[in-house]
Structure 1
Amino acid sequence: MKRTAAIMLLTGLALFTAVLAWQGLPAIGRALSAAGWGLAVVSAWHLVPLIFDSHAWRILYRRPRPGVVRIVWARWIGESINSLLPVAQIGGDIAKARLLIKHGLGAAETGATVVVDITLAAVSQMLFGVLGLVLLLILIDQPDLAWGVAAGIAAMLALLGLFYRLQRGGLFAGLAGMVKRIGGGREWLDFVGGAQALDAAILAIYAHPGCVLRALFWRLIGWFAGVGEVWLGLYFLGHPVGLADAVMLEALGQAIRGAAFAIPGALGVQEGGFVVLASLIGLGADTGLALSLVKRVRELTLGIPGLMAWQWAEGRLVGRARSPAPSIRHP
């Protein structure tokens, strides 16, 4: 697995370097310099979808739910890990669940909320991506693409339906044996109370469809809030666009990034995607690349402190585990 991650990282770096070299570093530098302090505004704006996504996750817990600050803190750390480390966009979710469990939240319930939240993220992203595809068809006026778009939507619906069905049918109990073999004999699911407990907790969440639908709604709100990042980025780059263009760029840009989950940070793939999308609506390849790099600056601005917070939190947990138990003196 480490070799595969290293290969994917090198592939991403190669693609990223190739795109930068193709557009020319001086031109890119001038574009980012033009954005100036606007980069800080874009980074700050990302806290808005982060809070919406955190609220969606929190809804999946039973009452009394964890505090808002604790959930936002855990999601920030998880997002930072997924954005900056070679963890196939899943390591951050495991890390945030572990932190909350170690801080006293129920193991099986926390693991279940993370699994269901990932599912709702995929469903909401698909819906958001469909809107982006429809807008693209309208903006570039090529109705022949509709059949290909419809086929892609059908395939995504089938995969999501299968994943949901597997969760309802005891997915993790069925995978436990395989996970144990891959993990060299260790039960990697132990930290959430075991596979059967996790499956039961997932079913308990789906038994309350009202909460699930509310969480899905707030997930969608989070995706739409992310459009502000694209709109602000292009505004400060000196290429303001309308709402439809911004929605299309964010929706399909996120879809492209999600499809490249195996490459850390979707390096190179995200850049190439924005180059193509921006060109389709007349912005130019250099503007698309500059927009992608604005997003990279935001990832570093929020992600590096997130990784530092993660290491600090893990260090405290290790120190607490090593601390000797207080001795009891008998009279």
Structure 2
Amino acid sequence: MDVASNRSFRARIGRAVLRRLPLAGTLVGLGLAAWLVATNDLAAVASAFGKIGFLGLAGVVLMRVAAIIVCGLAWARLLDGLVPSSAGACLVLRFVREGINVLLPVASVGGDVLGARLLTFWAVPGALAAASVLADMLFQVGTLALFAGVGAALLGQIEGAAAAELAQWTARTLGVAGLLLIGFFALQRTGLVRVLEEKIAALGRRFVREAEVQPEPRPQVQGALDAIWGRGRRGHLAQSFGLHALAWMFGVAEVAIVLACIGDHPVALTEVVVIEALGQAIKAVAFLVPSGLGVQEGGFVLVCGLFGIDGGTALALSLAKRVPDVVLGLPALLIWQNLEARRSGIGPAATPR
């Protein structure tokens, strides 16, 4: 086997492994979910969930709507001034990104990748669309790390070996996450994306016959990132970061609404913050598991147990937080399919209105 064939074979193997990772994550999540169901009282779960009621679930859905809108505005701030008004597109596509991430068997970044492509339907250049999603993801993960840090600090004030152990695990995880975030930021700001673009373009040319090689434009994503992170755009960046930080507070409101409706375990605001912050952190660590299936439930059982909340109530809380995934996710998937159909039907030159 020659060198080119060997590289092609390795590339095919790599793509096959990547395609199967979400499936493997789904199976792991299903196994964890099945174990949680088997080890908890289903009657207690059903009883706790029933106490939430329609109004409680409606409140949870409204909080999720507010969170997604705020995240859409945060994304739009990154593009403000670089393209014609894109706030409407960002709001619509933020719902699509969430719907894909929570309902389809993809890793938790699958919707973000597709969101960049869909943004080009509004005449946003592809390089700028990709760059905006990269910056948006950095702010989303960065604010989650800060939120989890607040949760870990509050948890550290609680007495007990279990609370101390979880706080230490969170601190260690945040240390690793901090290094990854620094690397992700450096990737965007030091020109490494340009190097990667050039390497990918060169690799692509190796598998194309010389007669088929066409002149290629210079890599553009790094230039788009430089435009987003430009010196005169600190206000836009700060607003986007602040909006992402605000969005996590709506998750706190979701937990507070559910636990208030169930009413069996009154909790303080600080405890609600810890439950949501560490629950989200645990879910984020297992990002390869689609929608954190099973991981979210296990995380809530673990964290809620520190405050004397039984497993049935914790699982009911997780189920309530999955209601918006379905209520909002299904229409989002329909919007995505409608956008794709309109794009195919009206040709590449047109954009959605």
TM-score normalised by the shorter chain: which range applies? 0.7 to 0.9
1:235 is the counterpart of 2:260: yes
Aligned positions of 1:86-97 closer than 5 A: 86-97=105-116
C-alpha separation in 2, matches of 1:282 and 1:321: 58
User: How far apart are 1:77 and its partner, in Å?
Assistant: 0.5
Change (3 A) 1:105 1:322: closer
Which residue number in structure 1 is paired with residue 337 of structure 2?
311
1:167 is the counterpart of 2:185: no
Contact 2:191–2:222 (Cα < 8 Å) also in 1: yes
Unaligned runs of 5+ in 1: 187-192, 324-331
C-alpha separation in 2, matches of 1:222 and 1:251: 12
Once the two structures are superposed, residues 151-207 of structure 1 have per-residue CA deviations (whole angstroms, 9 ceiling, x without a partner) of: 43332222211111121123333334459969x969xxxxxx988211111122112
User: How far apart are 1:69 and its partner, in Å?
Assistant: 2.9
1:222 is the counterpart of 2:247: yes
What is the identity, as a one-letter code, of the residue corresponding to 2:294? G
Contact 1:173–1:195 (Cα < 8 Å) also in 2: no
Which residue number in structure 1 is paired with residue 20 of structure 2?
3
Which residue number in structure 2 is paired with residue 24 of structure 1?
41
Aligned with 2:347: secondary structure?
helix
Which residue number in structure 2 is paired with residue 66 of structure 1?
85
Which residue number in structure 2 is paired with residue 190 of structure 1?
none
Contact 2:279–2:300 (Cα < 8 Å) also in 1: yes
User: How far apart are 1:240 and its partner, in Å?
Assistant: 4.2
Once the two structures are superposed, residues 3-32 of structure 1 have per-residue CA deviations (whole angstroms, 9 ceiling, x without a partner) of: 222222111111112112211333222222
C-alpha separation in 1, matches of 2:185 and 2:330: 34
Unaligned runs of 5+ in 2: 1-17, 209-215
Aligned positions of 1:204-283 closer than 5 A: 204-207=227-230, 208-238=233-263, 239-283=265-309
Aligned positions of 1:69-148 closer than 5 A: 69-140=88-159, 145=165
User: How far apart are 1:94 and its partner, in Å?
Assistant: 1.8
User: How far apart are 1:322 and its partner, in Å?
Assistant: 8.7
Higher mean alpha-carbon deviation, 234-243 vs 30-39, is at 234-243
Once the two structures are superposed, residues 287-310 of structure 1 have per-residue CA deviations (whole angstroms, 9 ceiling, x without a partner) of: 111111111122111111111111
What is the identity, as a one-letter code, of the residue corresponding to 1:139? I
Change (3 A) 1:181 1:296: farther
1:42 is the counterpart of 2:44: no
Change (3 A) 1:211 1:279: same
C-alpha separation in 2, matches of 1:70 and 1:322: 17
Higher mean alpha-carbon deviation, 152-161 vs 242-251, is at 152-161
Contact 1:140–1:281 (Cα < 8 Å) also in 2: no
C-alpha separation in 1, matches of 2:110 and 2:177: 23
Change (3 A) 1:104 1:206: same
What is the identity, as a one-letter code, of the residue corresponding to 2:70? F
Contact 2:51–2:262 (Cα < 8 Å) also in 1: yes
Aligned with 1:139: secondary structure?
coil
C-alpha separation in 1, matches of 2:168 and 2:35: 32
C-alpha separation in 1, matches of 2:217 and 2:249: 36
User: How far apart are 1:223 and its partner, in Å?
Assistant: 1.0
Change (3 A) 1:178 1:234: farther
C-alpha separation in 2, matches of 1:8 and 1:27: 28
Contact 2:304–2:310 (Cα < 8 Å) also in 1: yes
1:52 is the counterpart of 2:70: yes
Q: Normalization by structure 2: what TM-score?
A: 0.82
1:156 is the counterpart of 2:156: no
Contact 2:158–2:164 (Cα < 8 Å) also in 1: no
Contact 1:88–1:261 (Cα < 8 Å) also in 2: yes
Higher mean alpha-carbon deviation, 160-169 vs 259-268, is at 160-169
Once the two structures are superposed, residues 29-62 of structure 1 have per-residue CA deviations (whole angstroms, 9 ceiling, x without a partner) of: 2222221202122112211111111111111113
User: How far apart are 1:148 and its partner, in Å?
Assistant: 5.1
Change (3 A) 1:77 1:144: closer
C-alpha separation in 2, matches of 1:149 and 1:296: 24
